[in-house]
Copies of this chain bind each other. A is one copy, B any other.
C-alpha cells in the first residue's frame, strides 16, 4: 500500500508549466504556494525562463538536482507524458496532473491516459488527476492546485478533509463550510482518477492523524469492496465519513435477465455499504455544514430522547416534526427534573418537555437560573440529547445564553445543540463563544433535528458494527459451488431444476419436486397434493407467459392433463426451446412470498437482494440489499428494513412466520454468492415462501457469468 505522506507533506515541489500568463494553472500553483507561505522548496519549470517569480526556473524536471517529492504538471496535454517520464527517471513518488485532454476528450486522450498510467505503474509513481483542480494541504500550505482552491477565501486550518470527484461542485461544499467557520486539513479534487481514486484517498486519510472527519463527493467508483473496507477502517478509527453519492437519477433501469437484478441499481449497493460501515450519506450542502458542526462535539446520544428548551414553542414543535422521521422524540421529564425546573423557570412557562423558559428569559440576570435548568435536564436519565432554542434572541440575551450553554457543554456527556435564527453578524459574540465550546449552532429547528438524528444513527452504527465480522462459514456454499462446477459450461441460464438443486446444496430449502419427461402419474404418489406443474427448459425463463405453469392440481387425472397441456403450450408458443421435461412440485400454501436473489455487480461484486414478492414487487420496490457474504444477524437487519416486515410477524390473526429461517436462507445465499462469484452472474429465488415453520424456494434461476454480458464498468465522471 502506498504511503501517501510524501504526497500530503512534500518537502519539495516541482511545478511544470509556469508562465508569464498568471492564469495558467502552473502559475496559479506557484503563486498560491508562495502567498500562503509553503515552507518547502519550489522548483518552477519552463525552458523559456531563467527565473520565475524570483525563484530559479528550471528548463526541465531532469535538470533539477535536488530530491523532488511531488511534481505538479500544468502543461498542455501533449506535453504531459515527457514530463512524467523525466519525473519517473528521478524517482519522484507523486505527480498531480492538472492538465485536461485525456479520457474526457476522445480517443486520442484515452490513449494518452493509458500511456500515462503505464509510465506511472512502471516507475511506481502515483498520480492524482489528470483533468483535476489538484489538492491543498491547508495545515502545511501545500497548494498543488489551481482555480478556486487557490483563490480567496483562504480556507482556515481544521480537522476536515474533503475528497471530491468534481472540483467545481466539491469546492462549493468547501466554501459553504468555510462560511460557517469550519476548518480543513486536505482538500483534494481527483478529476479523472486514472490512478489514485477517492476510495484510496479516504483510506489514506483514515491514517492521517490531523484528519478527524472525511467528506467525499462521488459520482462513480471502480471498486465498491474497497469502499466497504475503507469505511470499516474509518469507523474503527472513530473518523466519521460523510459521503455524497451523486448521479443517482442517471442509473436508470438495469438490463438484467433476473427479476431481482431488475429491482436494484448501484445506488442501492452504495447504500448497503453505508449501512455496513456507518458512512453518513449527505445530499445537500447545508447538511454537510450542519453535520460537520454537530460532529465537532464528539458526543453521541445513547437513545432518541431529546429535551427541547427555549423561548419559542413553535420551534419545539418544528423540531419534533423533523425529528420524528430520524428516530428522535421529545421524552418525558422525571418528577425530580420538573421539581428542579420549577425553581428556576417562571410560573407562566412550562416545565414539561418542551421546556418553555418564557420570552426574555435569556439575560445576564438569569444566567445562574439557566445553568440550573440546563443541568437539571441533562441529568435526567430519559434525556439523551438537548436542543436549546434561542430562536430570535439576539445581542446581549444570546451572549448570556451562549456563555451558560458553553459552560454546561464542557462537562456534559450528552450532545447539546443550539437553534438560532438571528443572522451571524447580529449574534457574533454568542456564536464565537459557542464555537469555542464546540456547541453547534443551527439555523432552523429542522436542521438541528436532522443533525441530531445523524449523531444518533452514527452512534448506533458504531455500536452495531464494532467487531462485526461479516460471516464466512462456507461448508454448504462450497459444496454447492462444486455442484455448479460439475455442470460444466451450460448456455447462460440454468433450468429451474438445476438451479434449485444447487441452491438446496447451498443450504436454501426448496420445494419437493419430481421431474418427468411425459404424461406420468407417478409423481402423484410421491408428493402431497395440491401440486404444481411447470415446463423445464433453460430456453424459457418466463414460464407463465407461454402457459408453462399449472397450479392447484388435486387429482391424478388433473395431473395428467396438466402435463399434457404445458408440453403442448411449449411446443406451440416456444417451438425452438429445448424442453428438458416437466417439473411436478408440491404447491406451497399460506405464508408470505418474498423475492430473493444475487446480483454480481461489476463494481460491488456479489450483492444479495431480498424484497416483498407477489404483485407488489415492482410496485413497491420494497427491497434491502447487502454485499455478500454476511451472517444471519445482517440478514435479519435486511429483513427488518423491509416495509413488509410486519407481515412476517402475522397479520389479521394469522400465525407468525419463520423469520429466523428466512435469515438463515439469506445468509446461506450470500455464502453461495461469494463462493461462486467468478461463475455466477445472477440468482433469482422467486418466490421464497416464508412459512410458519421454515422457508421454501418455490422457483429459482441461476444465470452464469461466462456467456452473460456484464454491466459495463461504471464510467468515472469527468469533472
Footprint of B on A, CB under 8 Å?
23, 100-101, 105, 147-148, 151-153, 164-173, 175-176, 179, 217, 219, 246-250, 283-286, 311-315, 317-318, 320-324, 348, 359-360, 391-392, 394, 421-423, 426, 443-447, 544-545, 615-616, 618-620, 643-644, 646-647, 651-653, 717-719
What are 18 A-B residue pairs whose CB atoms fall within 8 Å in the complex?
A: A151-B394, A165-B314, A166-B315, A168-B391, A169-B315, A171-B391, A176-B421, A176-B443, A179-B423, A247-B321, A249-B320, A249-B321, A249-B324, A250-B317, A286-B444, A313-B719, A545-B653, A619-B647
Q: Which residue of B lies closest to A166 (CB)?
A: B314
Give 6 closest A-B pairs by Cβ, nearest first: A166-B314, A169-B314, A168-B312, A172-B421, A249-B324, A148-B392
In angstroms, Cα B422 to Cα A172, docked, is: 8
Residues of chain B lying within 8 A (CB to CB) of residue A446: 283-285
Residues of chain B lying within 8 A (CB to CB) of residue A248: 321
Of the candidates B247, B313, B348, B651, the one whose C-beta lies within 8 Å of that of A615 is B651
In angstroms, Cα B359 to Cα A23, docked, is: 11
Q: Which residue of B lies closest to A267 (CB)?
A: B321
In angstroms, Cα B164 to Cα A94, docked, is: 59
| Listed residue (A101, A219, A312) with the most chain B CB atoms within 10 angstroms of its CB | A312
In angstroms, Cα B647 to Cα A616, docked, is: 8
Is the pair B168, A315 in contact by a Cβ cutoff of 8 Å?
yes
Of the candidates B250, B313, B643, B717, the one whose C-beta lies within 8 Å of that of A168 is B313
Q: A172-B315, A285-B421, A313-B719 are in contact. List 15 more A-B contacts (CB 8 A).
A: A23-B360, A151-B394, A152-B426, A166-B317, A172-B444, A176-B421, A176-B443, A176-B444, A217-B314, A249-B321, A249-B324, A283-B446, A285-B443, A313-B717, A544-B652
Given A246-B318, A545-B653, A643:B615 Cβ within 8 A: no
Residues of chain B lying within 8 A (CB to CB) of residue A250: 317, 320
Shortest CB–CB separation between residue A97 and chain B, in angstroms? 16
Is the pair A717, B317 in contact by a Cβ cutoff of 8 Å?
yes
In angstroms, Cα B394 to Cα A264, docked, is: 41
In angstroms, Cα B312 to Cα A647, docked, is: 47
Q: Which residue of B lies closest to A217 (CB)?
A: B314
Is the pair A423, B172 in contact by a Cβ cutoff of 8 Å?
no
Is the pair A169, B321 in contact by a Cβ cutoff of 8 Å?
no
Of the candidates B179, B317, B643, the one whose C-beta lies within 8 Å of that of A219 is B317
Of the candidates B172, B284, B544, B620, the one whose C-beta lies within 8 Å of that of A620 is B620
Q: Which residue of B lies closest to A248 (CB)?
A: B321
Is the pair A153, B426 in contact by a Cβ cutoff of 8 Å?
yes
Is the pair B652, A169 in contact by a Cβ cutoff of 8 Å?
no
Shortest CB–CB separation between residue A649 and chain B, in angstroms? 11
Q: Which residue of B lies closest to A323 (CB)?
A: B249
Shortest CB–CB separation between residue A447 and chain B, in angstroms? 8
Residues of chain B lying within 8 A (CB to CB) of residue A171: 391-392, 421
Is the pair A313, B718 in contact by a Cβ cutoff of 8 Å?
yes
Residues of chain B lying within 8 A (CB to CB) of residue A246: 314, 317-318, 321
Q: Which residue of B lies closest to A105 (CB)?
A: B348
Is the pair B314, A170 in contact by a Cβ cutoff of 8 Å?
yes
In angstroms, Cα B555 to Cα A120, docked, is: 83
Shortest CB–CB separation between residue A350 and chain B, in angstroms? 9
Given A169-B314, A719-B313, A423:B175 Cβ within 8 A: yes
Residues of chain B lying within 8 A (CB to CB) of residue A620: 620, 643
In angstroms, Cα B392 to Cα A173, docked, is: 10
In angstroms, Cα B9 to Cα A213, docked, is: 55
Given A314-B168, A391-B168, A285:B444 Cβ within 8 A: yes
Residues of chain B lying within 8 A (CB to CB) of residue A249: 320-321, 323-324
Is the pair B284, A444 in contact by a Cβ cutoff of 8 Å?
yes
Is the pair B283, A172 in contact by a Cβ cutoff of 8 Å?
no
In angstroms, Cα B152 to Cα A217, docked, is: 40
Is the pair B311, A168 in contact by a Cβ cutoff of 8 Å?
yes
Q: Which residue of B lies closest to A285 (CB)?
A: B444
In angstroms, Cα B249 to Cα A217, docked, is: 33
Shortest CB–CB separation between residue A419 and chain B, in angstroms? 8
Residues of chain B lying within 8 A (CB to CB) of residue A173: 421
Q: Which residue of B lies closest to A719 (CB)?
A: B313
Residues of chain B lying within 8 A (CB to CB) of residue A647: 615, 619
Is the pair A321, B422 in contact by a Cβ cutoff of 8 Å?
no
Q: Which residue of B lies closest to A425 (CB)?
A: B179
Residues of chain B lying within 8 A (CB to CB) of residue A100: 348
Q: Which residue of B lies closest to A179 (CB)?
A: B423
Residues of chain B lying within 8 A (CB to CB) of residue A423: 153, 175, 179
Residues of chain B lying within 8 A (CB to CB) of residue A322: 283-284
Given A246-B318, A615-B651, A392:B359 Cβ within 8 A: no
Given A176-B443, A246-B314, A620-B620, A652:B168 Cβ within 8 A: no
Residues of chain B lying within 8 A (CB to CB) of residue A320: 247, 249-250
Shortest CB–CB separation between residue A98 and chain B, in angstroms? 11
Is the pair B444, A314 in contact by a Cβ cutoff of 8 Å?
no
Is the pair A719, B314 in contact by a Cβ cutoff of 8 Å?
yes
